[in-house]
Structure 1
């Protein structure tokens, strides 16, 4: 009988070592198991790490090479780069079930028992030793490295209660309470944020990684553990909390560098996959694709912004949370106005500010308002960048005086006559429509550049045009308590209010060797 050809149901019927031997079972290390299953997946051209986008030509091939090499792995990268998710997906490369000695706390292989308990049981019952089956999901252990983690937590320690209960002396290895790592024998063990682990605790991992055994206090015990280690870490220069000690880093076979999405299309794919659209939102709220692009552009702008600490990174969780906030902002407006459906507006972007402020670390934290100003500035830059994909460059048309050659002339003239438009956060669809249609030349601009749009999309593009013109200083955009006001740029300069435009300039005073920005 070929054990590898047995179905899961057939394997689960095997109840003791005799039946296991009859089925042709042979022990296999977890690294060999991962390697064999990966080889099968690659030959069949099956996807190995599903739901991981943007790593197809970089990170994933590196991980597959590490698995084929039977290496321990360290995933090094900034926050929000799917390091932990990749580690969890490695479980899919394990066999669905493996046999273990029944009652063993170390997942002992029936033909290669490791613990004292399993060895004694096999010695007593021989081929009649009972066997149970362990699912692949139960072979994954994850530990977040924190300063309070001890050697006892990871490796183990003598248990006085066990010694008293079993009436055993402390010299007997049966009084040992094994930690997380021994209990992960024949499994995948992940330590997240490895640099946060105290140096003395990292030292305790040396023997496990190099020789595969453990040492617990004064016990003369050698347990050749079979574990696939996966570590995750941020670059050491990001945090002062700690670093990976050099000898430990030397014992980790493959260090794989992760990265953020290379373009906004990959970012959008990740965001839409991870964002949770609540029940009822999909029917109540509709979103133009430009809004999804703007969310991704905010993250792109943040990663290149001089005001955001590049060493900390900008997590993909920013775009995910912002996407969810954007839907909720539109949903709330529709609920307040008793409307059956609404389209997400550009103005709803100010509702995603809370999703940004908690996910960017500034070069200078400054006053409490600092992160909020940065968030507003990032949103403005995103609008400015994408505006040129849909409308002519206002800076190139600025010198064109005649109405025929300057597509924005009639709009800026209308504001120049002293007209203003208020776009409040909670205004109804009808109020929103009436306000936008009141701007002379705005609808004509959209019709000329984007013909054939439905009215809701047309109104969306009209608002987009206003925001874009404000970002290019053709008109003024001023923040109100619960919305925005667009007006003539010159009048705003005299009144000293131009929302978000001059919060960052080149004349900020020096502050401790860096510019004070807020």
Structure 2
């Protein structure tokens, strides 16, 4: 159908156009995509076997939908992507505030236009990108905002009686007729406003003050809500929830791989940053692990959730931290080091809600602990578990080779036990950092044993990772002081602080000291 040639109601009738309700329209296009093995929700990852099938079933059933889940779980994105299931264009009567279907007008304006012009009634074509309305529910939202009210100025200008339907100023919902309308954070909507949605959902009617108005709106409703809101800030009134046919539970990524793909897709990294800064898979996984640690951390409020936006912002900060360091030293290229993760702390503190104990600990310290826990968790996927090495007492008459086999970190920790230390400035040159890492006896050989094919930069990064990993497992000490990271022996550091008390079970043996 050539829509450019169809500009009047008469031409539309001759074209054989048959209107569909929006839910039937979505159903028709969804069926086509399913048959063609197309994903109607491109760009949404991790929902292939859960949320997307549930959503498809709801749309095939022509249901209104409530997405229920914690923040940062792509609820609004799912709703916005439904626009792609609409027909590219639909006809409307020109000038209609409620997007009247020329073949079935709802408003007095639409009916009046047809009565006046007949088959010459002018029509326009409405693109699917414009058939989407969205409102964030806040306590100050009124019935007039959503549904409409009498406009006295309009009545005065048009010299109309207040009993005339023409004095109504329609709210955002009637203006979304024949489209998708989304209300985000539904529980934040006052209960009396939620009651105003009853008739719209059940019968499709709107009620405005004293008007006897029947306007069966054709709208696909999508609501989003956070489970926390049911108790902390508000609730969805039961009769309204009963009228929303499908409630779909969303969730966070279940695997690191899915989380990596989401961050890769969503992070905004400039081309010049990509040319200057290399980000290893190791660093990417550490950043994602921070979110996984936060979601199970005792100091973080689980009811509030930890958004995927945390890792996206953290990834961007990590790249910018490396970029800033390279600019300071005039280096053309660099990589994100483990020490650059100091720069992601601000991205963490602003994205987590703390329980009382967490507030006492402080958001900065909680964020630092989350980074350390991420390093600790990921370390054992790259190298032997230090906890197992610590449990094996190197006692008895055994050769150094046998002891090293039981504790692969022995050579490294003995170097620190000998009073040696490594100071790495956060903003140090790459060459100086590598030189500092090579000071540690056995560190290079240890990394090469497990990653023989790593290139020079990868090896250096893994060497730094080993130091942070050993510190996270309390085999050496790490202190961050004024832009400097200091690695020393654990026992000496604790003695210097006067914090060491040994019981009988923790008594040091001569072999432990050696």
- Structure-to-structure mapping, 1:96-495, within 5 angstroms: 96-236=88-228, 240-364=232-356, 370-398=362-390, 399=392, 401=394, 402-403=400-401, 404-405=404-405, 406-495=407-496
Aligned to 2:397: none
TM-score w.r.t. length of structure 1:
0.93
Matches of 2:232 and 2:105, distance apart in 1: 43
After superposition, what is the alpha-carbon deviation per residue over 1:189-219, rounded to whole angstroms, capped at 9, x for unaligned? 0000000000000000000000100000011
Matches of 2:293 and 2:124, distance apart in 1: 54
After superposition, what is the alpha-carbon deviation per residue over 1:368-393, rounded to whole angstroms, capped at 9, x for unaligned? 86111111111111111111111111
Matches of 1:55 and 1:326, distance apart in 2: 27
- For the residue of structure 2 that corresponds to 1:314, the secondary structure is coil
- For the residue of structure 1 that corresponds to 2:465, the secondary structure is helix
- For the residue of structure 1 that corresponds to 2:305, the secondary structure is coil
Matches of 2:61 and 2:177, distance apart in 1: 20
1:51 to 34, 43, 47: 43
CA contact (8 A) 2:230 2:236 kept: no
CA contact (8 A) 1:153 1:179 kept: yes
Aligned to 1:68: 60
Structure 1 pair 265/367, CA: closer, same or farther in 2 (3 Å)?
closer
Matches of 1:236 and 1:298, distance apart in 2: 22
- For the residue of structure 2 that corresponds to 1:99, the secondary structure is strand
Matches of 1:415 and 1:210, distance apart in 2: 72
Deviation at 1:365, TM superposition (A): 6.2
> What is the aligned residue count?
490
- For the residue of structure 2 that corresponds to 1:280, the secondary structure is helix
Aligned to 2:505: none
Deviation at 1:13, TM superposition (A): 2.1
Deviation at 1:445, TM superposition (A): 0.5
1:36 to 14, 21, 28: 28
Matches of 2:388 and 2:245, distance apart in 1: 55
Matches of 2:308 and 2:125, distance apart in 1: 38
TM-score w.r.t. length of structure 2:
0.93
CA contact (8 A) 1:34 1:67 kept: yes
- Between 1:232-241 and 1:334-343, the stretch displaced more is 232-241
CA contact (8 A) 2:228 2:303 kept: no
CA contact (8 A) 2:149 2:209 kept: yes
- Between 1:365-374 and 1:485-494, the stretch displaced more is 365-374
Deviation at 1:93, TM superposition (A): 0.2
CA contact (8 A) 1:365 1:371 kept: no
Deviation at 1:409, TM superposition (A): 1.1
- For the residue of structure 2 that corresponds to 1:190, the secondary structure is strand
CA contact (8 A) 1:238 1:312 kept: no
CA contact (8 A) 2:93 2:121 kept: yes
Deviation at 1:178, TM superposition (A): 0.3
CA contact (8 A) 1:326 1:351 kept: yes
CA contact (8 A) 1:192 1:232 kept: yes
Deviation at 1:458, TM superposition (A): 0.6
Question: What's the Cα RMSD here?
Answer: 1.3
- For the residue of structure 2 that corresponds to 1:180, the secondary structure is coil
CA contact (8 A) 1:292 1:323 kept: yes
CA contact (8 A) 1:190 1:230 kept: yes
CA contact (8 A) 2:300 2:358 kept: no
CA contact (8 A) 1:195 1:236 kept: no
- Between 1:391-400 and 1:418-427, the stretch displaced more is 391-400
Deviation at 1:495, TM superposition (A): 2.9
After superposition, what is the alpha-carbon deviation per residue over 1:428-457, rounded to whole angstroms, capped at 9, x for unaligned? 011101100111111110111110211111
Matches of 2:3 and 2:78, distance apart in 1: 29
